[in-house]
């Protein structure tokens, strides 16, 4: 769909973090904003690699959204070390100056001065840019509300518990955290505080309360106690999700996500399976479990016999037991699967996930319980939220995937009473998510406030 061209009278610049799964949700939000405000020019600033991936995948083309490339900050002849934090560090060090240069390019191309800055919440320095430019700043947090509160209240946590980390002390002094412990916290709040990411997150937590508004891919009703605290911490806290339930352009059916091509035939295959019987496995696109854990999970699938869809980008033959190949398994192994549609299918009974926030929201929308194997960042806190606060999933016993632990978790969710109880709790959250995105729901109201702020 291409929007009708109108004279553009306002310019919003959007600064995206190009690593992990950060840029995608921000891009989705910008497309919604651009469709709602065709008179506004949106310049989307991130690295050429991230821009190419985002704009080539998008089925939607809007005349008022244009990509501008930002240098990645890497030195000449840089050789990747295998540690992604190195590239992140170089990018962040050069980011303020590089973004300002691309922002000037966007102003020259549009003929319009930037009137609002929207950024990934990681970019605390954009608050300083906005202050200097005398324009509103709207950071967008791509994680969940609970991890956001932990970062905003980092000083309080350190005052109460110290900074050494790794303890079992409860966090009951934080609203909504009575079932959580110190070692559930995201990295950088306690423990190793010297890393570039820890420094960034601390500065972010200090800066966000000064923003014009903070937006998040979530809905108010998912965690009302935590959301209400965040509303008191920020000038405005706008829950404008779940994005998977809201199309990027106006539609008469906001509760239906756009259909993706099912080239793999996995949705057709799901049609042949029993209700709530299939395990869907995807550990995201950033980190993969080590080979011995992948092999253990493959063995668990073979021994348990549960049908499955596994989104797996490596060579599956390397982790299968001797005597097995891809064709001999009771499932489908794909390099990519239409996750929202798979989770929305009635045959999908459990989602084995790394517990990234986007995946959790999509599982809630689909009403599918989770088996969680977190890796880093907010994922451990997300797992504890799924397991202890909401009761809609379970962590892998011992924290690492072994064949016995995987079989136990699969049987718990797919065969036992606990799985049924999880599904009942999910129905409540699923209904709340659907209600939140209805035309008079909390998320459209928050989105309308966001449109007002960025178009002033």
Q: Which of 275, 246, 283 is nearest to 372 (CA)?
A: 283
Token pair, residue 287, equals 């980190």
Per-residue pLDDT reduced to its tens digit, 410-435: 999 999 999 999 999 999 999 999 99
Report d(CA 204, CA 217) in Å as an integer. Answer: 18
Question: In the prediction, which pLDDT does 258 show?
Answer: 47
Q: Hey, where are the domains in the chain? A: 10-255+438-455, 266-434
Q: What is the tens place of the pLDDT at every residue in 356-413? A: 999 999 999 999 999 999 999 999 999 999 999 999 999 999 999 999 999 999 999 9
SS3 59: coil
Third-level CATH fold of 10-255+438-455: Rossmann fold (3.40.50)
Mean pLDDT over the full length of the chain: 92
- Say if residue 254's pLDDT is above 50: no
What per-residue confidence (pLDDT) applies to 262?
74
Stated pTM of the model? 0.93
Q: Give the mean model confidence (pLDDT) for residues 221-236.
A: 98
Q: What is the mean pLDDT of residues 11-17?
A: 98
Looking at 41-178, list the stretches that DSSP marks H as alpha helix, in order from N- to C-terminal side: 48-57, 84-110, 125-133, 145-152, 154-161
Residue 119 sits at the vertex; the CA angle it makes with 26 and 19, to the nearest 5 degrees, is 60
List residues bridging with 46 in a β-sheet: 69
242 preceded by a cis bond (ω within 30 of 0): yes
Confidence at residue 334, expressed as pLDDT on a 0 to 100 scale: 92
User: CA-based Rg of the chain, rounded to a whole angstrom?
Assistant: 22
Q: Which residue has the tokens 């049987």?
A: 411
**Pairing label, strands 214-216, 278-282:** unpaired
- Between 168 and 366, residue with greater pLDDT: 366
CATH superfamily of the 266-434 domain: Glycogen Phosphorylase B; (3.40.50.2000)
Q: If you average pLDDT over residues 185-207, what whole number do you get?
A: 91
Token pair of 357 as six digits = 């926030």
Sign of the four-CA dihedral 147, 151, 156, 158: positive
CA atoms of 134 and 111, how far apart (whole Å): 18
Q: Cα(289)–Cα(399) distance, rounded to whole angstroms? A: 12
pLDDT digits (tens, 9 = 90+) for 291-339: 999 999 999 999 999 999 999 988 888 888 887 877 778 999 999 999 9
Q: For residues 255 and 437, what is the distance between their CA atoms, to the nearest angstrom? A: 7
Domain 10-255+438-455 and domain 266-434 have a common topology: yes
pLDDT tens string 69-108: 999 988 888 877 767 778 888 899 999 999 999 999 999 9
What pLDDT is recorded for position 248? 62
- Six-digit token string for 64: 């008022």
**Average pLDDT of span 208-218:** 99
Q: Identify the pLDDT of residue 255.
A: 41
What's the CA gap between 177 and 372, in Å, rounded? 19
Which member of 22, 151, 345, 354 is catalytic?
A: 22
Closest CA to 141 of 54, 243, 44: 243
The reported pLDDT for the residue numbered 58 is 64
pLDDT band at 3 (very low <50, low <70, confident <90, very high): very low
11 annotated active-site? no
Whether the predicted pLDDT of 2 surpasses 50 = no
Residue 129, Cβ neighbours under 10 Å: how many? 20
| Burial grade of 397 (CB within 10 A; 0-12, 13-18, 19 or more) | middle
Q: Which residues, 6 or more positions from 249, have their beta carbon under 8 angstroms from its beta carbon?
A: 1, 31, 32, 35, 60
**CA distance linking residue 407 with residue 303, whole number of Å:** 8
* Active-site residue, selected from the candidate residues 10, 11, 27, 120: 120
| 300 within 8 A of 406, measured Cβ to Cβ | yes
Q: Are residues 102 and 66 in contact, defined by beta-carbon separation less than 8 angstroms? A: no
Q: Please report where in the chains the tokens 């033959």 appear, as a residue.
A: 317
What are the helix (H) ranges across 265-367?
266-270, 291-304, 339-343, 357-366
Q: Record the tokens describing residue 227, joined without a space.
A: 């959301």
Token representation of residue 2: 């291409």
| 22 catalytic per annotation | yes
Greatest mean pLDDT range, 56-60, 252-256, 283-287: 283-287
| Distance, CA of 76 to CA of 66 (rounded, Å) | 28
Q: Is the pLDDT of residue 180 over 80?
A: yes
Place of tokens 């994680």: 143
CB 173 within 8 A of CB 156: yes
Residues 31-48 have pLDDT tens digits of 999 999 999 999 999 999
The pLDDT tens digits of the residues spanning 114-136 come to: 999 999 999 999 999 999 999 99
The pLDDT of residue 349 is above 70: yes
- Tokens at 185, concatenated: 């916290």
Q: From CA 415, how far away is CA 405, in angstroms rounded?
A: 15
């Amino acid at each position: 769909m291409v929007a009708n061209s109108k004279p553009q009278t306002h310019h919003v610049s959007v600064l995206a973090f190009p690593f992990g799964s950060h840029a995608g949700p921000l891009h989705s939000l910008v497309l919604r904003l651009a469709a709602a405000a065709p008179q506004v020019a949106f310049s989307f600033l991130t690295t050429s690699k991230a821009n190419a991936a985002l704009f080539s995948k998008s089925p939607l083309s809007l005349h008022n959204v244009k990509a501008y490339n930002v240098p990645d900050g890497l030195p000449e002849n840089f050789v990747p070390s295998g540690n992604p934090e190195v590239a992140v560090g170089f990018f962040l060090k050069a980011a303020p100056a590089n973004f300002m240069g691309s922002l000037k390019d966007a102003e020259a191309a549009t003929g319009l001065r930037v009137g609002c800055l929207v950024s990934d919440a990681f970019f605390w320095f954009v608050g300083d840019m906005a202050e200097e430019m005398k324009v509103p700043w709207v950071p967008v947090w791509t994680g969940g509300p609970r991890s956001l509160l932990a970062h905003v209240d980092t000083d309080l946590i350190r005052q109460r518990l110290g900074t050494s980390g790794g303890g079992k002390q409860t966090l009951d002094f934080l609203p909504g955290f009575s079932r959580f412990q110190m070692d559930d916290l995201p990295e950088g709040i306690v423990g190793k505080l010297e890393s570039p990411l820890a420094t960034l997150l601390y500065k972010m937590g200090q800066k966000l309360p000064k923003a014009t508004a903070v937006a998040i891919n979530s809905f108010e009703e998912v965690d009302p106690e935590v959301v209400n605290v965040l509303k008191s911490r920020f000038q405005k806290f706008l829950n404008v999700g779940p994005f998977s339930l809201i199309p990027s352009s106006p539609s008469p059916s906001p509760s239906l996500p756009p259909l993706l091509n099912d080239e793999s035939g996995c949705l057709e295959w799901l049609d042949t399976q029993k209700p709530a019987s299939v395990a869907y496995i995807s550990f995201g696109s950033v980190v993969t479990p080590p080979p011995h854990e992948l092999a253990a999970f493959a063995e668990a699938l073979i021994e348990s016999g549960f049908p499955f869809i596994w989104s797996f980008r490596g060579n599956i033959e390397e982790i299968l037991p001797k005597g097995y190949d891809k064709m001999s398994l009771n499932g489908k192994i794909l390099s990519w699967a239409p996750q929202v549609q798979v989770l929305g299918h009635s045959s999908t009974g459990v989602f084995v996930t790394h517990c990234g926030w986007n995946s959790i929201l999509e599982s809630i929308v689909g009403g599918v319980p989770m088996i969680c194997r977190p890796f880093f960042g907010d994922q451990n806190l997300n797992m504890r939220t799924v397991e202890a606060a909401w009761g809609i999933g379970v962590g892998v016993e011992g924290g690492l995937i072994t064949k016995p632990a995987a079989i136990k978790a699969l049987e718990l969710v797919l065969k036992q009473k606990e799985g049924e109880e999880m599904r009942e709790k999910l129905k409540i959250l699923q209904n709340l998510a659907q209600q939140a995105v209805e035309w008079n729901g909390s998320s459209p109201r928050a989105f309308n406030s966001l449109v007002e702020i960025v178009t002033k």
